[in-house]
A = this chain, B = another copy of it.
């Protein structure tokens, strides 16, 4: 790698049903917040993660649009897409742009405006992350795909319906401490277990919501960060990116997420750390079962033991390795293209010691895991405060 890369600015729009704002407004709010946080007066290049503004908003060509509305000077601007991992992918490419020396000050953003269409249209748009020809045409939706994974995990490893619910309870406990989220309140085990069935065994409170929102970062070379920023420099020390079959039925084992294992392995190798060195994790809990599978793939628990982690307190604030202190996708919301960037915003907030009531003590190294579809693509980043 040519140059070390630091994160010197973070920003978020509010997250929720933002009917008073357009797609471009939502993005620009987050971008300006990150630029202000970084204290820079220019941007040299931009990467933006977005899954499907074409279907949600009738708008492609997003990077040029956002660069224009942000008032930049005709900079190179790139939109990337990897379904719900689009934000994480934008982080990777921004890292590359700075590491390679193509640009010094790079804005990385993610945005999705999902509530401008009705629920059926949103479900359809999200289904385009699966294999249209072999999965979606058969009638399956994303809750259905993750329900299959959940049922298989229950059958194979004895994971219980209550353990799934405990993931949602934990993440809402964390989210109640994060006012920027869409649903920043606690929920109870009973409310999850009695909520409306979506796709057996998953109920509505096992599912992340449909959200409007954006998140943004400012990256620059570490050497420059030390000169221009008074805040603690957060260095990106590990980057991992892998793919898998997009269709669930093509996997050898539908309780596993090999792309997550592979991306994590790449990031750990690059960072020269292992899971024991990680102080906190933001991961892709699009459904409660996803968090259970992902903590297994990351090596936080052994394969098959993911169900017990939320219950035992291992992954709670105050536990050995807190997971989703932001509230996760479940409580904070899941504007799909923004999620991977917002995960990094939470890690930087924690590593700076700015997380207030949800602060993880002595947090020095954090990890994000952002995944597309039913695990067809995954990005992992590891960050360390310098």
Contacts and interface: CB of A to CB of B under 8 A. Distances in A.
B61 A377 contact: yes
B246 A74 contact: no
A369 B62 CA distance: 20
B75 A243 contact: yes
Nearest to A102: B96
A376 interface: yes
Interface in A256-272: 258-259, 262
B58 A132 contact: yes
B54 A243 contact: no
A335 to B, nearest CB: 15
A83 B58 contact: no
A65 B136 CA distance: 14
Contacts of A132: 57-59
A114 interface: no
A136 B58 contact: yes
B74 A242 contact: yes
Interface in A200-232: none
A246 B79 CA distance: 14
A74 to B, nearest CB: 5
User: Interface centre among A24, A58, A93, A97, by most B CB within 10 Å?
Assistant: A58
Contacts of A372: 61, 64
Interface string A78-112: 11111100000100010011011110000000000
A244 B64 CA distance: 7
Complex copy number for this chain: 2
A17 B376 CA distance: 30
Contacts of A241: 76, 78
A54 B128 contact: yes
A133 B62 CA distance: 13
A119 interface: no
Interface in A326-369: none
Contact of A65 (B61, B77, B376): B376
Contact of A128 (B58, B77, B81): B58
A68 B136 contact: no
Contacts of A65: 131, 246, 376
A193 interface: no
A242 B80 contact: no
Contacts of A258: 74
A258 to B, nearest CB: 7
Contacts of A96: 96-97, 100, 102
A125 interface: yes
A353 to B, nearest CB: 32
12 contacts: A58-B124, A59-B128, A59-B131, A59-B132, A61-B83, A61-B129, A65-B376, A68-B376, A74-B244, A74-B258, A76-B241, A79-B80
Given A63-B377, A77-B82, A99-B100, 7 more contacts: A2-B2, A61-B246, A61-B376, A64-B246, A78-B82, A78-B93, A79-B80
